[in-house]
Structures are given as structure tokens and as C-alpha cells.
Structure 1
Amino acid sequence: MTVSLKALAFAAAALVTAALPARAEIEIQEVTTPGGISAWLVEEPSIPFVALELRFKGGGSLDAPGKRGATNLMVGLLEEGTGEMDARAFARALESLAASFEYDTFDDTISVSAKFLTDTTDEAMALLRGSLVEPAFNQVAIDRVRAQVLSGLASDATDPDKIVSRTFDRLAFGDHPYATSIQGTRESVAALTREDIVAAHQAAFTRDRVYASAVGDITAEELSVLLDTLLGDLPESNAPLPGAAPFLLEGGLTVEPFDTPQSVVLFGQEGLERDHPDFIAAYVINEVFGGSGLTSRLMNEVREKRGLAYGVYSYLVPKDHAALLMGSVASANARVAETISVIREEWAKIGREGLTEEELAAAKTYLTGAYPLRFDGNGPIANILVGMQMDGLGPEYVTERNAMIEALTLDEVNRVAAELYDPEKLHFVVVGQPEGLESQ
């Protein structure tokens, strides 16, 4: 069946306004297929359209020793053909169905997103299955995608943002996979063979590590059949996951010289795991401290009061094998030392004094009011649901999350701030030519 792109565009646009109410009140069904695959489903039959999200735990961290970048390259090849179908034929088939597939690699996961019309479910899933279970990995495609990765790596070598991120990771994580980029190095990627890519595929795509969610015009019975057909031929399990990644950086400063008029800075310390009982409190604290744009403390002190930077941000980074509390800023070489000093002072202040009643109330109002707006269509909802599963949250979290935030007391959040924010553990990595700063 051939469906026009206009049909898919209509469906996608309609979902924004018609899929679900602007409240985080959705009915989540938990589905377990005969083959043992678990998934969450939200049925929405008003528009003949389905969003399917798959996550495979492991991601780039599963790269074999000496094969860094293999998983990333492998995932980049999934849309390059299956069986006798080359990349062009695959793209034409996808377009004829008015469907879309997206594949991506992260430190801990591989994500697969599919959007398709109900009438073309069988054809779309046959195409997706081919890319996931029987990718062609022909040498012409390998050489082309490898060249794209190598070009990106060459560009990254002159990008201060990439340099600071990779320097921070290298210093923080030692010999753990987190210490190096999932894209690999120019040397490691150039040396990858087809056999390495096949091995990476076998390690990454297993049934015991898949998380799935679907939102749209599909029933639980239909989803169950779909998932077993789509994924049933994958191996049950394969390569072991990496172990914990101890955070090796102590408090201090690392300067990586680079010829640029503006220094780029990453700063961080150990944070809280997503399943830590104080994580929600830490999330609210960070919103006040550096997560809320122009109204955050960091933005007020660094940008509004002193004009030291255009923007400064902080964020929680709960990885599967490590948890960080981090931030970023860029400032002129002549002013970056002052910028760092202000950030360190604010880090100490929030640990020492915590939040005010007014700050906590404002954060609660914003976070609880903004939360339902995330549920604005089939795709975003499916993405949220699969993320919740990976975080070990139950379906009830959708309706209980705002109540958890509202229940936080000032004493509770200030206890967490005092325990979490430690300027003696805070490490800054600076890439540029910062005046008056040296590694320490």
C-alpha cells in the first residue's frame, strides 16, 4: 500500500492537539508478549497512527576492548539496507509507507523510534524488523558511513565544546567506557571491520535488554503480536554490561590550552542515582540553582549581575553506572577566572544555606505546571513511557510525580542541598586560554 507523505503530516499535526488532554492523566496498560517481551501501551484510536519506542540497554558502553566506536557505527548502518535491499531501496520503501524510523546511540542505550500509519503496520514493521534483525552491513555502506563518522571526529577535534566534554570524561572515568566518546577515535574507527560491526550488533540487540512502549491506534493484543514478530528472532542475551564507573576527579581545576577567545568550562562532582530516595529533592534544588534558565541563581549571579557569560547551567546526570551533578558555562578568557569563582561561591552557598521558601514554592509551581505539557502527542508520550521503564519507575509515577514534588518540605530539600553540594569536591575543566588560571 502506498500512502502519501501528506497523510503522515496530517496525522502528526493532529496528534499535537487531539491525541490526549493536556494533563498527565493517561491510562497505561502493561503488556507482556507470549515471547516474554514487556511493554507499556497507551491506546489512542482517534487517529490512525502509532508511535513505537524501543530502547536496548548497553549502548556504546558495550564496545569490545580496542573496538571503540563499533556500536555507534553499527547503529548508523541500520538504515543502510537489509537483505537484498540497499540504502536507497530502504529509503524509498520507508517513504512509500509514510513512516519514519530513527536510530541513535548513547552511553547506556540504543534508541529506536518508529512512527507509522495503522493501515501500513505490517509493512512498516517488516521493514523495521529487517533493519534490526537482518541488517545488510554491506561494505559499500560501511565505507560511506565510516567516512561520515571520521569527518565528524575531525571536526570535533577543533570544537572546544567537544574537547572539554571529552577531557572531563577522560579524567573522571579512567579506563571505563564512559571515559571515551561512543564515536570512537579516528584510529579505532578506521580499523573497524565488518566482523567487528556484526559482533557489535550481536552484543547490542538482545531480548533481555529491550524496553518498549507504544502510543496510538493499536490494541494490547496487536502490540503483543507486533513485538514478538519484530524482536522474537533476536538472541535472549549476549555480552555483559560494564561495571560501575567510579568518579575519579577530586576538587580542583584542569586547564586544556586551546587557541580561542572564549574559554569553555565544564564543572561537576558526584551526584545522585535516579533511584536514590533524594533524587526528586535534588531535581527541585537544581531547578532553582541552575536549571531554570534566566531565573536560576547561577544565571542571576553570573549573567544578570556581572555580565560574565551569556548563559550558565547546571544539571543532574544519572547514568547507568555513575551519577554526576554538573554544569557548563563559556566566558571570555579575561573573565573566566571570575566566572569560576562566582560559581564555586554559589555552590558553597546553596549547600550552606539551601533554598528559601519563596524559591521552593516557585520551583514547585513551575515544575508541576510544566509537567503535563510534555504529554503533547503520541511520540513524546511513548518516549516518556519507555524512559520511565528504564528508570525503574512504575506506571503510577505519571500521576504521582507532581504530588511527590508538592510534598517536599523546605527542611527536606535543604538537608539534601547540604549533603549534596560540596565545593571541595567540585572540579572545573577549562578549554581555552584563561587568564590567571592554571591546572591544580
Structure 2
Amino acid sequence: MSGTARGSRCLTRPFRSLAATPLALLATLMTIALAPVSPAQSETTRIQRVISPGGIEAWLVHDTTLPLVAVEIAFLGGAAQDPADKPGVANLAASLLDEGAGDLDSRAFQDKLAEKAIELRFDASRDMLGGSLRTLSENVDEAFDLMRLAVAAPRFDDEAVERIRQGQLAMLRRRLNDPSTLASLNWSARAFPNHPYGRPVNGTLESVPTISQGDLKDFVARNLARGNLKIAVVGDITPEKLGPALDKMFGALPAKAQLTPVPDVTPQGLGSEVVQELAVPQTSMVFGGIGLKRDDPDFIPAFVLNHMLGGSAFSSRLFREVREKRGLAYSVYSHLAPLDHAALILGGTATKNDRAAESIEIIRAEYNRLLTEGPSEEELEDAKSYLIGSFALRFDSSAKVASQLLQIQIDNLGIDYIDVRNQLVGAVTLDDIKRVAARFNQNPALLFSLVGKPAGLAPTKGG
């Protein structure tokens, strides 16, 4: 899907990490992720809940191995809050937050970042506007002040707006020839007609030119508030210093966001294909159906079920059937995509035009077979072993640590989730898998979106 789904999300612009996670911190987090945990042994006491004097909460992992501080923030709402006739407002606003703020124009703001080797960026996804900050601890005061200005006093100057707008339009033009992007956009549009999730996060060639400074300022005023803000901090800063700093960074924001209600939605068009012709040698396809929300009690069993379907690059059923047995594609994948207002299972692949129809048939058949027959005990144990053993890889950089802490807050999983996650995966039984498979099997139909020249599949009208 266009726009990153919560849970796999992260942000669209590439980011250069200042350094890998300090070895002591990584060792601690790997121990948490891999080892059985008793209350006396729990090391997630390293994750501290810091409350500022003004009541702003952040989760902190205090580590002094290296003089670095990483901050991840999220304002819940995101591109789902775009005006219906102007998709792309959240994305453009996020791209401009570090392009001048307060009394600093774009050049002066960027010079301040460069002078202190501070990295600051913002991005929008369907359900949030996110920000990332990286700094040396000796420059943390200056870095936090620039974060404060960016979120509380963005300028949206004419020059910066037009420069970033033209960059967005150039990107949108390039994507007109990117089959995988088009397949994702078309899937969302077909699955969610007349719903915010059906609109492209980055906007369109028609909508982006119409976005005004007033639209950008209105979005920020309505969406950036203390009440919908989540914060994670990792590195060389004490709770005593972070608490007051939270008020300095975010205390000037409104207490509550003025979010437009977004209705829960079920994907439409299941069991059909939407086809767009493009003169390329391969057909790119995105497929998806109904999944489970993150707060569903059966989410962890569903997560394990998906791993067996298409979550593993080398051992999943789709990989075995589509690539290894038939050579239809180089890669094929699936994942759970629990958005705030829709529960999805999504996947994708690319294959030769003359084998696209065959690939669709195989994917549908294997999905239905897994739901109907279930896995073997050995297959389940292999999946759980991989998911437990690979969990530590989510913490192998400072950026990942902060991102994981932020996501756990967003998903409301509890500050002890790192302790209990592997236990939850390890406890999944064949009966759990069968129960979840039966739920998925209530509506196992998949919607396919294809872009290319797939043999035997006519272009969809208007596609």
C-alpha cells in the first residue's frame, strides 16, 4: 500500500545513523529479546517512563556508552487527516517542518543543523506524522530547540514551499513509470473508495499544486498537539534532564488535536483483480485481504500464521511455491498491516507478464490451503523459533531501538512488551493457529492489483 502501514512503518526519506547502538545497550536488549525472563531478571527497567513537569510523557533508555541521543516522535493522525480534495497535505507539511521555523529561514535552519551535526527529519504516513532527531549529547540543547521550533513554529515560506512542492511533483512524475508503486496505489484506491485510506499519502499531480500555505498551517494547527504525541528517547541523557526538556520542546503545542473522525473500514473488491497496462517486461502485483487489528487477542497467532504464509524470505509457503517450485518470481512476501481503522493482510511480487495469471492462481490456492488445512507441528515450531531468534535484530541500531519503543507506545502494548513478546510467540499452539485460520477463512478472498501487460487479464476500465 502507498504510505507505510503502522507496524512496519517507517519513514520515506533515507536517514544516516550517526552510529550503531552502543555494545552495552545492544547486549542488554538482545538479552531481553532472547532470554526467558523472570520478574527478578527483567531488564526492561532500563526503559524508564519520564513525565515532564507539564505532564508530557516519554519512554527513555538511558545509555552513556557513546555521547549520542536519538529521539523518535509521532503525532497520531497523519495523512488520513488530509482534506478529501487535497491528498498530500500531511506529506508536504512534514517535508517542510525542517525548512525554516521561528526566526530562522530555511537556509539558517539548515545551517544550524549542519553546524552541530544534528539530523532532524519528518515524514507522514497514513496514521501519523513522525519525526526523528539524532545529535551528539553535547549539542542536545541546540537540537531540542530546533525540534521545538520545527513543530511549534514552522514558517512555510514561499520559497521553501515551492521548492519542496516541485520536488514532490518530480517524484510523483517518476512514479508514473514505477509499476510497484502504481500497483500499491491502485490497490488502495480499489480497496478503500471514498475513504481516507484510498487516497495517496504523497498526493497527486493534480492535488499537490493546489495545496496552499493556509492548508499547511491549518494541518499543523489541528494535528500537532500534546494529546496525540508519542515520544521515545535513547542515549546519553538522564531522566532529570529529559523531563524539563520535554516541556521546552513540546509545551507550547495545543493540549489536544482537532482530528477529523476516520471511520473503520473493510477492504472492498475482494476476490477481483484491478489491472493497469504499462509497457514493462514484468507485471508487478500487490494483493491483500482482511487481517486482524493490533489489539486483537489473536494478533500474535495471526503474526505466526503470516510468517508461514509469506513472512519469511526463504522458508515461507509462498516462497516455496512461487519461487522455488515454479520460478515465477524472484521474491514474494506477505505481512500483517494493522492500520488504525482497517485490519489487513498484504503481500506482493513481480513476475513475467505471461505468468501473472498463474502466479495469482498459486497465491490464492496456497493461502486457502494454509487456512483450510493448517500447518504441521514442525512448520509451526520452525516459525516460532525464527520469530523468537530474530527479534533481537529489531534492536541492532540506536534508531531501531528508539523506533521500537515508539511503536510499542503507539500500539499500546505496555512498557514490559519486550519482556513478554517472545513468550507470547512461544506459547502459540496448533489450536491457536487453527482458530485464527478459521477467522481468516470467514472471508479469505484477496484483491489483486497488477501493473504491466499481464497476459490474459484485460485492463480495468479507467485503469
Q: TM-score range by the shorter chain?
A: over 0.9
1:338 aligns with 2:338: no
Contact map agreement 1:42 1:216 (CA 8 A) in 2: yes
How far is the alpha carbon of 1:247 from its aligned partner?
Answer: 1.8
1:100 to 2:106 alignment: no
Q: Which of these residues, 39, 49, 53, is aligned with residue 58 of structure 2?
A: 39
* Paired residue secondary structure (1:182): coil
Aligned to 2:146: 127
The reply to whether residue 387 of structure 1 matches residue 407 of structure 2 is yes
- Corresponding position of 1:178: 197
Give the superposition deviation at 1:259: 2.1
The total of aligned residue pairs comes to 431
Is the counterpart of residue 248 in structure 1 residue 254 in structure 2? no
Query: In the alignment, which residue of structure 2 is the partner of 1:257?
Result: 277
> Alignment partner of 1:20: what SS?
helix
- Secondary structure of the 2:207 match is helix
In the TM superposition, residue 33 of structure 1 has moved relative to its aligned partner by: 1.9
Question: Cα deviation per residue 1:155-210 (whole Å; 9 max; x = unaligned)?
Answer: 11222112111111111111111101111111211111111111111122111100
Match for 2:72: what amino acid? E
* Aligned match for 1:292, one of 295, 312, 335: 312
The answer for the alignment partner of 1:378 in structure 2 is 398
**What is the distance in 1 between the residues matched to 2:259 and 2:323?**
47
Moved more, 231-240 or 203-212: 231-240
Partners of 2:281 and 2:398 in 1: how far apart? 44
Name 2:47's counterpart in structure 1.
28
Q: Is 1:15 the equivalent of 2:21?
A: yes
Q: Deviations over 1:246-283 (max 9, x none)?
A: 32223222222222221111111111000111110011
* Contact residue 67 and residue 136 of structure 2 kept, 8 A: yes
Residue 165 of structure 2 aligns with an amino acid whose one-letter code is R
Aligned 1:284-363 pairs, distance under 5 A: 284-363=304-383
Task: Output the amino acid matched with 1:335.
Answer: R
Partner of 1:223: 242
Pairing partner for 2:419 from 393, 396, 399: 399
Deviation at 1:422, TM superposition (A): 6.0
- Does residue 83 of structure 2 align to residue 75 of structure 1? no
1:290/1:296 contact within 8 Å kept: yes
Query: Which runs of 5 or more structure 1 residues have no equivalent in the other structure?
Result: 1-8
Aligned to 1:6: none
Shift of 1:14: 5.9
SS, match of residue 212 in structure 1: strand
| TM-score (structure 1 length as normaliser) | 0.94
Confirm or deny that 1:202 pairs with 2:210: no
Of 37-46 and 268-277, more deviation after overlay is shown by: 37-46
83-92 or 337-346, which deviates more: 83-92
Task: Report how far residue 379 of structure 1 moved.
Answer: 2.3
- Taking the aligned partners of 1:183 and 1:64, their CA distance within structure 2 comes to 13
Percent identity of the aligned residues? Answer: 40
Deviation at 1:12, TM superposition (A): 4.0
Q: State whether residues 52 and 115 of structure 1, in contact with CA within 8 Å, keep that contact through their aligned partners in structure 2.
A: yes
Q: Is the 8 A contact 2:270 2:447 kept in 1?
A: yes
SS, match of residue 21 in structure 2: helix
Question: Which among 288, 291, 294 is matched to residue 274 of structure 1?
Answer: 294
Gaps of 5+ in 2: 1-15, 33-42
SS of the residue corresponding to residue 263 of structure 1 reads strand
Mark the CA change 1:80 to 1:279 in structure 2 (over 3 Å): closer, same or farther: same
Distance in 1 (alpha carbons) for counterparts of 2:167 and 2:67: 36
Task: Report deviation, 1:301.
Answer: 0.6
Distance 1:283 1:240 in 2: 31
Matched, 1:435 2:443: no
Q: TM-score, normalised by structure 2?
A: 0.89
